[in-house]
Structure 1
Amino acid sequence: MLKGNFFRGLGYLGQGFRLIQQPGLRLFVIIPLVINILLFGLLFYFLGEMFTVLIDGAMNMLPDWAWLQSLDWLFWLLYGVVIVLMLAYGFVIVANLIGSPFYGYLAELTEKHLTGQEVNTDESWGQIIRDIPRSLWREVQKIVYYLPRALALFVIGLVPVVNIVAAVLWFLFNSWMMALQYVDYPADNHRVSFPDLRRSLAGARLSALGFGLPVALAAMVPVLNLIVVPAAVCGAAAFWVRENQSD
């Protein structure tokens, strides 16, 4: 039986957008935002150059069956959604690799703002620098978890008819990954291992999917995806505080 509260999960991203407006959190929003603007420019260029190529390549893999040719618009749409989801999460991966030390500290400050309690007594820039190797390793763990599952879904998506189901699975998987991606920041601040985090979120899967769904949607929207990352970090801190109090 799935546990958690899907609708409660939906509210955490909105809470994150409100939190990033707090004066004490703004600096650690502005720095990643500048990084995201630069990355978005590169992604937009890559998307413009590669989208048609990727779509044509996927369409060419379809069998030459007459009834399939009449549905080429549907497959074009499905492949388009999958490719955009892949690129959106690719943007998130790269943005988080670069900004992970700032995001960990942003999650810490957000939790302190919400609870009034210290998470880590060392609040220096030196601590942020010392945390870089650990933060990068956590990002690598998430990539290693993501890639084989993404590859399996991509292969399934190449199978005619089955790819309709694969598109839905892709969206659910991306929502799950967004929850894992961002709740990992407050979890890491509490020294919760990545495998333990996965088990914890699995115990509140509906809440996790509710949180990850709007993040996945926002990551696909130009301009909005520039600010959704720090908002999602703050929302994840709120998720951590609230869901750890709810059974």
Structure 2
Amino acid sequence: MLKGNFLRGLGYLGEGFRLIRQPGLRLFVIIPLVLNVILFGLLFYYLAGLFSAMIATAMGWLPDWAWLQSLDWLFWLLYGVVILLMLAYGFVILANLIGSPFYGYLAELTEKHLTGQEVVSDAGWMGLLKDTPRMLWREVQKIAYYLPRALGLFILGILPVVNLVAAVLWILFNGWMMALQYVDYPADNHKVSFGRLRKDLAASRLSAMGFGLPVALAAMVPVLNLIVVPAAVCGATAFWVRENDSTQQ
């Protein structure tokens, strides 16, 4: 039986957008945002042409069956959704690799703002530099978890008819990955292993999906996907503070 509260999970992203406006948190929102704007601007130009080529190639694989050809518009839509979801999380992976040292500290400051208590870690810029290798390795662990599962879903997504199911599975998987991605920041601040975090979130899966799904959808929207990353970090920290007791049981 799935545990947690989906509707409660939905509220954490909205809380994250409110938190990023706090004066003490803004600096660690602005710096990675500027870096990501530069990166995304370059990538968008390249991926615009790549996306069209991938859609055309996928459609060329369809067998010449009359009933399939009559559903041409539907397969365009489904292939587009699958590829867009892949690109959405790909953007998030790159954004988090760049911003991970800032986002770990942002999660720390957010938790202090919410609880009034210091997180046990090295504070300040020196602590940030010291923790950077560990934070980057944590991002590599998340990518290693994501890629084989994404590959399996991608193979399903390019198969005609089967992609009807694959598109739904992609949405659910991306929602789960977004919850893992962002709740990992406060969890890492508390030295909770990535494996332990997966078990904890699985114990409150409905809440995790309620948080992760709107993040995944927002990551598909140009411009909004730049702003949603720091908001998701803050929202995930609120998730950690409020849901942690239930996930530890």
TM-score (ref. length: structure 1): 0.98
Output one character per residue of 1:135-158: Cα deviation in whole Å (capped at 9) or x when no partner: 011000000000010000011112
What is the match of residue 19 of structure 1? 19
- Aligned mates of 2:64, 2:187 — CA distance in 1: 49
Runs of 4+ off more than 6 Å: none
What is the match of residue 28 of structure 2? 28
Which amino acid in 2 is paired with 1:147?
L
Which amino acid in 2 is paired with 1:168?
V
Query: Which of 59-68 and 222-231 deviates more?
Result: 59-68
TM-score (ref. length: structure 2): 0.97
What is the match of residue 216 of structure 1? 216
- Aligned mates of 1:5, 1:95 — CA distance in 2: 29
Output one character per residue of 1:51-109: Cα deviation in whole Å (capped at 9) or x when no partner: 11010111112222221111111011000011111111000000100110000000000
Structure 1: which 5+ runs fail to align? none
Q: Does 1:67 align with 2:67?
A: yes
| Cα drift, residue 121 of structure 1 | 4.8
Q: Please say if residues 121 and 189 of structure 2, whose CA atoms lie closer than 8 Å, have aligned partners that are also in contact.
A: no
What is the match of residue 132 of structure 2? 132
- Aligned mates of 1:8, 1:204 — CA distance in 2: 11
- Aligned mates of 1:231, 1:244 — CA distance in 2: 19
Structure 2: which 5+ runs fail to align? none
Look up the SS of the partner of 1:222 in the other structure.
coil
Which amino acid in 2 is paired with 1:115?
T
What is the match of residue 118 of structure 1? 118
Q: Please say if residues 122 and 128 of structure 2, whose CA atoms lie closer than 8 Å, have aligned partners that are also in contact.
A: no
Look up the SS of the partner of 2:245 in the other structure.
coil
- Aligned mates of 2:7, 2:126 — CA distance in 1: 39
Which amino acid in 2 is paired with 1:130?
K
Q: Structure 1's 121 and 83: CA in aligned 2 closer, same or farther, altered over 3 A?
A: closer
- Aligned mates of 1:72, 1:35 — CA distance in 2: 39
Q: Please say if residues 12 and 235 of structure 1, whose CA atoms lie closer than 8 Å, have aligned partners that are also in contact.
A: yes
| Cα drift, residue 171 of structure 1 | 0.4
What is the match of residue 84 of structure 2? 84
- Aligned mates of 2:207, 2:150 — CA distance in 1: 22
Which amino acid in 1 is paired with 2:204?
A
- Aligned mates of 2:214, 2:146 — CA distance in 1: 19
Look up the SS of the partner of 2:15 in the other structure.
helix
Count of aligned pairs between the two proteins: 247
What is the match of residue 174 of structure 2? 174
For 1:221-236, what aligned pairs fall within 5 Å after superposition?
221-236=221-236
Output one character per residue of 1:7-62: Cα deviation in whole Å (capped at 9) or x when no partner: 00000000000000000000000101101211221232122121110101111122
Q: Please say if residues 101 and 131 of structure 1, whose CA atoms lie closer than 8 Å, have aligned partners that are also in contact.
A: yes
Which amino acid in 1 is paired with 2:222?
P
- Aligned mates of 2:33, 2:199 — CA distance in 1: 31
Output one character per residue of 1:184-235: Cα deviation in whole Å (capped at 9) or x when no partner: 0000000000011000000000001000011011111111111100000000
Alignment RMSD (CA, Å): 1.0
Q: Please say if residues 204 and 246 of structure 2, whose CA atoms lie closer than 8 Å, have aligned partners that are also in contact.
A: no
Which amino acid in 1 is paired with 2:173?
F
Q: Does 1:188 align with 2:188?
A: yes
Which amino acid in 1 is paired with 2:83?
I
What is the match of residue 162 of structure 2? 162
Look up the SS of the partner of 1:131 in the other structure.
helix
Q: Please say if residues 20 and 234 of structure 1, whose CA atoms lie closer than 8 Å, have aligned partners that are also in contact.
A: yes
Look up the SS of the partner of 1:104 in the other structure.
helix
Q: Please say if residues 92 and 229 of structure 1, whose CA atoms lie closer than 8 Å, have aligned partners that are also in contact.
A: yes
- Aligned mates of 2:246, 2:214 — CA distance in 1: 21
